[in-house]
Structure 1
Amino acid sequence: MNYSPCTYQFSGVTTRVAGYSKIPPKILEQIFSIRKLAFIDRKKWDIESYQGSDYEWDEYDDLDATYIYTHQNDQVTGCVRLRPSSKPTLMSGPLSFILPAEETRAHLQHCWEATRFALSSDDFATGELTQANVDIRTAALFLSMIKFAQQQNVRTYEIVVDTMMEKILKRSGWTVDRRNIALGSKGEKIIYGTLPCTLLTYEEVLKKNAIHKATVYHQPLITCRSSDSLDKPQVIPQTLPNRNIPAKISMHTVLQL
């Protein structure tokens, strides 16, 4: 990726934006652990690529992935994964069943996929709500996503959400443009849609959540790995499945953001 990692602060919540190769292994472990707790333990999702470890990750966690995560000191408290829609994605793989006709899909050149949105529910969770009655970490992640999109000339994000997440987005000031509807694995309604990444949208999310400004740090608050290892895949010091997981089986799994 052609950008440098950066850190934001929104109303005291710190978010970090970094590519896969520039995230320290211990931070990546925490991201995958939060996802496992959120999707496997709490939501009971049937994710084909999950093979029983303490982490939830798949073949799309690779050098094409970018992560935005909230943290307190060295503890990750929330995360979301971003990928260019022109690359292999969940939308072109396991979630392709929900895509509408090609002519109604966002132009891939200026569109990214946003998936695996999760918050921790441990002692590090702030529990603070914004004026829009949204977790402050959620609002901070949304705002960071829009800031990143503007820097990278990304006009829209592709998402698949359930109705609850759609309501949270709307309450936050970021309305989903519905493109298609299908049923998830439990018979629930899931929505494929896009999110605009305009300055107007950014200002609306700030206003709705009563967040007045962001502080930007281009120097990392969390030390990244040395440059000689930036292009190497991460090695997590716990048993994980092989990185080259075939995950092209169509599975009706509800994925939030």
Structure 2
Amino acid sequence: MKLIAIETPKSTEDAAYLDQMYRLRARVFADRLAWNVSRSNGRERNQFDEFEPTYILALSDRDNDVVIGCARLLPAIGPTMLEQVFPQLLSAGRLDTHPSMIESSRFCVDTAYPREAGEGALHDVTFGMFAGILEWSLHQGYREIATATDVLFERILRRAGWPMKRLGRPIMINETMSVAGILPVSRENFERLRPQSYRSAFSPRRQSAAA
């Protein structure tokens, strides 16, 4: 699989990838998980897609670059889902942000996508997405990832060797036991989680001339 990052789409190819991503989100969050999300014409998106996020996408090597995983990243010092939508998950009612923190939301993987031979209990694409988020964050100088998820996914992170530090107690939200937490960004975590099939198209952030 190949991991890419898209901010503002710069080509028809980028726009097509994002359209696939919105469709995948609708299939996962609206159809499979039955979340109360905004869906239109088979696509899921909300107001946080208007804040110029970076999208991390996993592309299939076998099916002409089909999007098989995605996540949305926004600087935590700006508008975040945690503070504006899920403040009840934060013990202090707010997120203690800093410039080296980013929020990850709308993480999902196409679980219907065929697995490669030899994969373990966790889907290879899930590990690829973890590694993609970590690698991009490392290139951009982020040290922490804030996120809201459910306790089942929290266990997946723990099983993968990337445990989350909780920011509050779990709370039932729309029939989902939800929890917020912080994930550490490190080269060691990236190397441990990166699957054998992993490739990426990320590059380090450019430094200003005055740096």
**Structure 1 or 2: larger helix share?**
2
194 and 129 in structure 1: CA distance in 2 versus 1, 3 angstrom threshold: farther
Aligned residue number for residue 31 of structure 1 = 21
Percent of paired sites with the same residue? 23
Count of matched residue pairs: 198
Q: Deviations over 1:191-240 (max 9, x none)?
A: 1100000122223324xxxx358544469xxxxxxxxxxxxxxxxxxxxx
How big is the shift at 1:75? 1.4
215 and 43 in structure 1: CA distance in 2 versus 1, 3 angstrom threshold: closer
How big is the shift at 1:133? 1.9
State which of 175, 187, 190 in structure 1 corresponds to 2:178.
190
Aligned: 1:171 with 2:156: no
Aligned residue number for residue 84 of structure 1 = 75
CA–CA separation in structure 1 for the residues paired with 2:65 and 2:82: 32
Aligned residue number for residue 253 of structure 1 = none
RMSD of Structure 2 on Structure 1 (CA): 2.5
Aligned residue number for residue 207 of structure 2 = none
How big is the shift at 1:189? 2.4
Which of structure 1's runs of 4+ aligned residues deviate more than 3 A?
Answer: 20-23, 128-132, 211-219
Q: Compute the TM-score of the two structures, normalised by the length of structure 1.
A: 0.69
212 and 115 in structure 1: CA distance in 2 versus 1, 3 angstrom threshold: same
Q: Residues 2 and 58 of structure 2 are in contact (CA less than 8 Å); yes or no, is this contact kept in structure 1?
A: yes
Aligned: 1:59 with 2:47: yes
How big is the shift at 1:185? 2.8
Q: What is the SS of the residue equivalent to 1:61?
A: helix
Q: Compute the TM-score of the two structures, normalised by the length of structure 2.
A: 0.83
Aligned residue number for residue 208 of structure 2 = none
| Amino acid in structure 2 at the alignment position of 1:150 | L
25 and 193 in structure 1: CA distance in 2 versus 1, 3 angstrom threshold: same
State which of 101, 105, 110 in structure 2 corresponds to 1:111.
101
CA–CA separation in structure 1 for the residues paired with 2:116 and 2:155: 18
Determine which structure has greater relative contact order: mean sequence separation of CA pairs < 8 Å that are 6+ residues apart, divided by chain length. 1
CA–CA separation in structure 2 for the residues paired with 1:131 and 1:121: 13
